[in-house]
Amino acid sequence: MKRLNLNLNLTAIIVLIAVGVLLPVMLATAAGIVALVIADDAGGIVIGVLVVSFAVTAGGSALITVVLTGRKARLARRQADFVANVSHEFRTPLSAIRLYAQTLESGRLDDNPEETAKCVSTILRETEWLDVMIDQVLTWRASARDMLNLQMQTSPVADAVTHAVERFRSMSPPDELTLTAAVDTRLDVVHDGRALGAVVLNLLTNAAKYTGPVKHITVRARDEGESVVIEVEDNGIGLTPSEARHIFKPFYRVPRSDGSDSGGVGLGLAIAHHVVGRHDGSLTVESEKGRGATFIVRLPVAGGELV
Ligand code: ADP
């Protein structure tokens, strides 16, 4: 309903400007040109020039108004979508937590320690997801205001990557995927371990989200000349070249042809891109539609040339 109102308002403003401003502007321009053509003295020429200049200024202002109004409406729409998506994303783990907590409270599992343990680990897993999402929203807020406070240290990134892999394993239901990790990097990188870990965790959760029922994910970290390279590869739905060009933009989400939604607010990769950029590194993707994707983080070695 809100979106309908925004669209209607925008259309109304554009029609109003077209009829109320652009039409008179065109008439005035035509009149000015005619005045210039038929002018036979300096006074006529001055009037013609004034009329044409006035018309061009009014037309330009109207055009700028249309562009700015369109931008504002699009921003308001994206913000409304964002709030709706975030609320939805939070509700899903909260519902699961409530359900499992109620099951435990009912006492139905009192004699079944195995099921009780499963319930508890699901609650812990969902809590972890909530934590990650809250972190993501806060990081976005900070990075959008250019106030992301990174705690840089100089050391190999192996710990950050391994920690992200372990956290991801603890958040993923067992038996749902195979995750291979080959972390072999020893060179020092100036980095914020927590922020970099969040980047890797985001790439891992995406790899799991955008993959079919048989999920194979590989994480690699290695030294490569003056850079340290971290790769997250999946066997998922992949991306077309045009989708790949947009995925690092805030709020962008590839529309699913079957209308399904695997959850998310379209901020993870934008944040990851920003964070890697703050490390003087690059985040890129190599992919083919239907054949999986490999996200590549490239970071400069401390004291080496920039990547
Ligand atoms: P979110 O996952 O919350 O939608 P992201 O910023 O993390 O937001 O990702 C943006 C979009 O990029 C996703 O909506 C998805 O369409 C696409 N995407 C991200 N990772 C992958 C991947 N590993 N494989 C295919 N598509 C991906």
pLDDT over 60 (residue 23): yes
pLDDT in the model for residue 5: 52
Domain residue ranges of the chain, discontinuous segments joined by +: 2-78, 153-300
| Alpha-helix residue ranges (DSSP H) falling in 107-229 | 113-144, 158-171, 193-209
pLDDT over 70 (residue 9): no
Looking at the chain, how many residues does it have? 307
Distance 133 CA to ligand 1 centre (A): 15
pLDDT in the model for residue 261: 66
The tens digit of pLDDT for each residue in 138-152 reads: 998 898 888 899 999
Distance 243 CA to ligand 1 centre (A): 10
Report d(CA 26, CA 46) in Å as an integer. Answer: 19
Two tokens at 281? 């590194």
Strand ranges for the chain from DSSP E: 153-155, 177-184, 189-191, 215-224, 227-234, 282-287, 293-300
Better-scored residue on pLDDT, 70 or 228 = 228
The tens digit of pLDDT for each residue in 85-140 reads: 888 889 989 999 999 999 999 999 999 999 999 999 999 999 998 999 999 889 98
Distance 266 CA to ligand 1 centre (A): 7
Q: What is the mean pLDDT of the chain?
A: 88
> Which of 135, 130, 125, 122 is CA-nearest to residue 90?
130
Distance 247 CA to ligand 1 centre (A): 7
pLDDT over 70 (residue 52): yes
Residue carrying structure tokens 């004034």: 50
Tell me the pLDDT band of 1, cut-offs 50, 70 and 90. Answer: very low
Report d(CA 206, CA 12) in Å as an integer. Answer: 40
Tell me the pLDDT band of 79, cut-offs 50, 70 and 90. Answer: confident
Better-scored residue on pLDDT, 260 or 246 = 246
Ligand 1 pocket residues where CB is under 6 Å: 206-207, 210, 234, 236-239, 247, 252-254, 264-270, 293
In this prediction, residues 173-190 reach a mean pLDDT of: 93
Better-scored residue on pLDDT, 54 or 199 = 199
Better-scored residue on pLDDT, 58 or 288 = 288
What CATH architecture is 153-300? 2-Layer Sandwich (3.30)
Report d(CA 27, CA 23) in Å as an integer. Answer: 6
* Ligand 1 pocket, mutate which of 140, 143, 203, 247 (most atoms under 8 A from CB): 247
pLDDT in the model for residue 293: 98
Which protein residue's CA is at the shortest distance from atom 19 of ligand 1? Answer: 206
pLDDT in the model for residue 264: 79
Q: What share of the chain is helix, strand, coil (3-state, %, to 5)?
A: 60, 15, 25
pLDDT over 50 (residue 189): yes
Minimum mean pLDDT range among 3-17, 93-107, 160-174: 3-17
Tell me the pLDDT band of 30, cut-offs 50, 70 and 90. Answer: confident
pLDDT in the model for residue 2: 46
Tell me the pLDDT band of 305, cut-offs 50, 70 and 90. Answer: low
pTM score: 0.77
The tens digit of pLDDT for each residue in 201-256 reads: 999 999 999 998 899 999 999 999 999 999 999 999 999 999 999 999 988 889 87
